[in-house]
Amino acid sequence: MAKFSLGPTFATYHRCKVRGLFANDKTCLNTALHVGFKHEHPKQIYLVKSGRDSSACSPLEVGIFYNHTKLFTVAKLDGFDGTIMPSIGPILAISAGGTRIATAHWKGVLVWAIDPEAFLDPFEDPSVDVKELDSADDSEYASSCGHSFYQVYERVGKAVVIPPVELPNDSVVHKLAFVGEDKLYGLTGHGLVSWDMRVGCAGRQTKRSFDKLNGVDSLVQDA
Protein backbone atom coordinates (compact mmCIF):
# COMPACT_ATOMS: atom_id res chain seq x y z
CA MET A 1 0.00 0.00 0.00
CA ALA A 2 1.25 3.51 -0.84
CA LYS A 3 2.29 5.90 1.91
CA PHE A 4 -0.61 8.03 3.13
CA SER A 5 -1.13 10.84 5.57
CA LEU A 6 -4.45 9.99 7.20
CA GLY A 7 -6.91 12.45 8.62
CA PRO A 8 -9.07 11.63 11.66
CA THR A 9 -12.19 9.50 11.28
CA PHE A 10 -15.10 11.33 9.65
CA ALA A 11 -17.54 8.40 9.54
CA THR A 12 -17.67 5.21 11.63
CA TYR A 13 -19.50 1.89 11.78
CA HIS A 14 -19.79 -0.71 14.56
CA ARG A 15 -20.85 -4.34 14.23
CA CYS A 16 -21.23 -6.50 17.32
CA LYS A 17 -19.77 -9.97 17.88
CA VAL A 18 -18.85 -10.80 14.30
CA ARG A 19 -16.10 -13.39 14.66
CA GLY A 20 -13.97 -15.40 17.03
CA LEU A 21 -12.55 -18.85 17.65
CA PHE A 22 -15.56 -19.85 19.71
CA ALA A 23 -19.23 -18.89 19.55
CA ASN A 24 -19.08 -17.29 22.99
CA ASP A 25 -15.77 -15.55 22.35
CA LYS A 26 -16.53 -13.30 19.37
CA THR A 27 -15.19 -9.78 19.04
CA CYS A 28 -16.78 -6.58 17.84
CA LEU A 29 -15.63 -4.87 14.67
CA ASN A 30 -15.14 -1.13 14.20
CA THR A 31 -14.55 0.39 10.78
CA ALA A 32 -14.06 4.03 9.83
CA LEU A 33 -13.43 6.31 6.87
CA HIS A 34 -10.54 8.74 6.57
CA VAL A 35 -9.30 11.09 3.88
CA GLY A 36 -5.85 9.91 2.85
CA PHE A 37 -3.29 12.01 1.00
CA LYS A 38 -0.83 9.96 -1.05
CA HIS A 39 2.68 11.42 -0.94
CA GLU A 40 4.13 9.50 -3.86
CA HIS A 41 3.82 10.86 -7.40
CA PRO A 42 1.19 11.47 -8.62
CA LYS A 43 -0.02 13.07 -5.39
CA GLN A 44 -3.70 12.27 -5.02
CA ILE A 45 -6.51 12.08 -2.45
CA TYR A 46 -8.26 8.85 -1.52
CA LEU A 47 -10.83 7.52 0.90
CA VAL A 48 -9.13 5.05 3.21
CA LYS A 49 -11.10 2.58 5.31
CA SER A 50 -9.68 1.29 8.58
CA GLY A 51 -10.68 -1.80 10.52
CA ARG A 52 -10.14 -2.60 14.17
CA ASP A 53 -11.27 -5.53 16.31
CA SER A 54 -12.43 -4.75 19.81
CA SER A 55 -13.14 -7.04 22.75
CA ALA A 56 -15.25 -4.26 24.26
CA CYS A 57 -18.53 -3.28 22.61
CA SER A 58 -17.49 0.32 22.12
CA PRO A 59 -18.07 2.23 18.84
CA LEU A 60 -15.46 4.65 17.53
CA GLU A 61 -15.91 8.40 17.79
CA VAL A 62 -15.76 10.77 14.83
CA GLY A 63 -12.82 13.15 14.67
CA ILE A 64 -10.32 11.04 16.63
CA PHE A 65 -7.19 9.16 15.56
CA TYR A 66 -7.08 5.46 16.42
CA ASN A 67 -4.50 2.72 16.01
CA HIS A 68 -5.89 0.32 13.44
CA THR A 69 -4.80 -3.11 12.38
CA LYS A 70 -5.92 -2.93 8.74
CA LEU A 71 -6.16 -0.18 6.12
CA PHE A 72 -7.93 -0.38 2.76
CA THR A 73 -8.06 2.12 -0.11
CA VAL A 74 -11.74 2.16 -1.11
CA ALA A 75 -12.15 5.25 -3.32
CA LYS A 76 -10.13 7.75 -5.30
CA LEU A 77 -11.32 11.36 -5.20
CA ASP A 78 -10.72 12.17 -8.83
CA GLY A 79 -9.65 15.54 -10.21
CA PHE A 80 -7.25 16.57 -7.45
CA ASP A 81 -3.99 17.99 -8.80
CA GLY A 82 -1.23 17.64 -6.23
CA THR A 83 1.31 19.41 -8.44
CA ILE A 84 -0.21 22.84 -7.69
CA MET A 85 -0.82 22.22 -4.00
CA PRO A 86 0.35 24.90 -1.51
CA SER A 87 3.40 24.10 0.61
CA ILE A 88 1.27 23.73 3.77
CA GLY A 89 -0.51 20.75 2.21
CA PRO A 90 -4.02 20.28 0.81
CA ILE A 91 -6.73 22.69 1.97
CA LEU A 92 -9.55 20.36 2.98
CA ALA A 93 -13.01 20.53 4.53
CA ILE A 94 -15.43 17.71 5.43
CA SER A 95 -19.08 18.27 6.28
CA ALA A 96 -20.28 17.18 9.72
CA GLY A 97 -22.17 14.19 8.33
CA GLY A 98 -19.33 13.17 6.04
CA THR A 99 -21.44 13.52 2.88
CA ARG A 100 -19.36 16.32 1.31
CA ILE A 101 -15.60 16.64 0.97
CA ALA A 102 -14.10 19.82 -0.46
CA THR A 103 -10.56 20.77 -1.34
CA ALA A 104 -8.94 23.90 -2.74
CA HIS A 105 -5.76 24.30 -4.73
CA TRP A 106 -5.12 27.97 -5.48
CA LYS A 107 -8.27 29.14 -7.31
CA GLY A 108 -9.76 25.70 -7.87
CA VAL A 109 -12.43 24.39 -5.48
CA LEU A 110 -13.60 20.79 -5.87
CA VAL A 111 -16.41 19.03 -3.99
CA TRP A 112 -17.14 15.30 -3.88
CA ALA A 113 -20.49 13.86 -2.80
CA ILE A 114 -19.99 10.85 -0.53
CA ASP A 115 -22.34 8.28 0.99
CA PRO A 116 -20.33 6.93 3.96
CA GLU A 117 -22.72 4.02 4.53
CA ALA A 118 -21.99 2.74 1.02
CA PHE A 119 -18.42 2.06 2.18
CA LEU A 120 -19.11 1.05 5.79
CA ASP A 121 -22.40 -0.82 6.18
CA PRO A 122 -22.61 -4.18 4.34
CA PHE A 123 -26.31 -4.43 5.18
CA GLU A 124 -26.92 -1.45 2.86
CA ASP A 125 -25.49 -3.39 -0.10
CA PRO A 126 -28.15 -5.67 -1.67
CA SER A 127 -25.47 -7.61 -3.56
CA VAL A 128 -23.67 -8.73 -0.39
CA ASP A 129 -24.38 -11.69 1.86
CA VAL A 130 -22.97 -10.60 5.22
CA LYS A 131 -22.57 -14.20 6.41
CA GLU A 132 -20.42 -14.92 3.36
CA LEU A 133 -18.27 -11.88 4.15
CA ASP A 134 -17.51 -13.24 7.61
CA SER A 135 -16.78 -16.75 6.35
CA ALA A 136 -14.46 -15.32 3.66
CA ASP A 137 -12.52 -13.34 6.29
CA ASP A 138 -13.78 -10.04 4.88
CA SER A 139 -15.76 -8.90 7.89
CA GLU A 140 -14.42 -5.39 7.28
CA TYR A 141 -16.46 -5.32 4.02
CA ALA A 142 -13.39 -4.05 2.17
CA SER A 143 -13.15 -6.01 -1.08
CA SER A 144 -16.35 -4.70 -2.70
CA CYS A 145 -17.56 -1.81 -0.55
CA GLY A 146 -19.13 0.98 -2.58
CA HIS A 147 -19.19 -1.07 -5.79
CA SER A 148 -22.96 -1.55 -5.82
CA PHE A 149 -23.85 2.03 -4.83
CA TYR A 150 -21.32 3.57 -7.24
CA GLN A 151 -21.75 0.95 -9.97
CA VAL A 152 -21.83 3.53 -12.80
CA TYR A 153 -18.41 4.88 -11.81
CA GLU A 154 -15.06 3.54 -12.95
CA ARG A 155 -12.77 1.64 -10.60
CA VAL A 156 -9.01 1.55 -10.17
CA GLY A 157 -8.36 -1.90 -8.78
CA LYS A 158 -10.98 -2.23 -6.04
CA ALA A 159 -11.23 1.53 -5.43
CA VAL A 160 -14.22 3.47 -6.79
CA VAL A 161 -13.30 6.62 -8.75
CA ILE A 162 -15.58 9.45 -7.58
CA PRO A 163 -15.72 12.51 -9.87
CA PRO A 164 -15.85 16.02 -8.38
CA VAL A 165 -17.97 19.10 -8.97
CA GLU A 166 -15.89 22.22 -9.57
CA LEU A 167 -17.29 25.34 -7.92
CA PRO A 168 -17.04 28.81 -9.51
CA ASN A 169 -14.30 30.90 -7.94
CA ASP A 170 -11.93 33.65 -9.12
CA SER A 171 -9.52 34.11 -6.21
CA VAL A 172 -6.93 32.11 -4.28
CA VAL A 173 -8.54 30.09 -1.47
CA HIS A 174 -6.79 30.04 1.91
CA LYS A 175 -9.29 28.09 4.02
CA LEU A 176 -12.54 26.10 3.65
CA ALA A 177 -15.26 25.15 6.13
CA PHE A 178 -18.71 23.54 5.87
CA VAL A 179 -21.80 24.73 7.72
CA GLY A 180 -24.19 21.80 7.64
CA GLU A 181 -23.95 19.46 4.67
CA ASP A 182 -24.64 21.83 1.78
CA LYS A 183 -23.15 25.22 2.65
CA LEU A 184 -19.43 25.75 2.06
CA TYR A 185 -17.48 28.86 3.06
CA GLY A 186 -14.07 29.85 1.78
CA LEU A 187 -11.64 32.53 2.92
CA THR A 188 -10.15 33.89 -0.31
CA GLY A 189 -7.98 36.73 -1.52
CA HIS A 190 -11.17 38.67 -2.32
CA GLY A 191 -12.78 38.03 1.06
CA LEU A 192 -15.35 35.53 2.31
CA VAL A 193 -17.08 33.40 -0.33
CA SER A 194 -19.99 30.99 0.19
CA TRP A 195 -21.35 28.26 -2.04
CA ASP A 196 -24.88 26.95 -1.48
CA MET A 197 -25.34 23.40 -2.79
CA ARG A 198 -28.87 22.75 -1.56
CA VAL A 199 -31.49 21.21 -3.83
CA GLY A 200 -33.38 23.91 -5.71
CA CYS A 201 -30.62 26.51 -5.76
CA ALA A 202 -30.81 28.78 -8.79
CA GLY A 203 -27.10 28.82 -9.61
CA ARG A 204 -27.02 32.62 -9.32
CA GLN A 205 -23.81 34.41 -8.34
CA THR A 206 -23.94 37.58 -6.25
CA LYS A 207 -21.25 39.87 -4.89
CA ARG A 208 -21.54 41.89 -1.69
CA SER A 209 -19.16 44.53 -0.42
CA PHE A 210 -19.07 47.15 2.33
CA ASP A 211 -18.62 50.75 1.16
CA LYS A 212 -18.27 53.91 3.16
CA LEU A 213 -21.21 56.26 2.60
CA ASN A 214 -21.16 59.42 4.69
CA GLY A 215 -18.98 57.65 7.22
CA VAL A 216 -21.42 54.73 7.56
CA ASP A 217 -20.83 51.17 6.34
CA SER A 218 -23.43 50.25 3.73
CA LEU A 219 -23.92 46.84 2.14
CA VAL A 220 -23.80 46.83 -1.66
CA GLN A 221 -24.95 43.76 -3.59
CA ASP A 222 -24.41 43.07 -7.30
CA ALA A 223 -26.42 40.26 -8.88
Whether 48 and 73 have beta carbons less than 8 Å apart is answered as yes
State the SS3 of 106-129: CCEEEEEECCHHHHHCHHHCCCCC
> What tens digit of pLDDT does each residue of 46-77 get?
999 988 887 778 888 888 877 766 889 999 99
Query: What residues does each domain of the chain span?
Result: 4-222
Residue-level pLDDT at 222 = 44
> What tens digit of pLDDT does each residue of 150-164 get?
999 999 988 999 999
> What tens digit of pLDDT does each residue of 129-141 get?
877 776 667 778 8
pTM, two decimal places: 0.82
CB atoms within 10 A of CB 114: 25
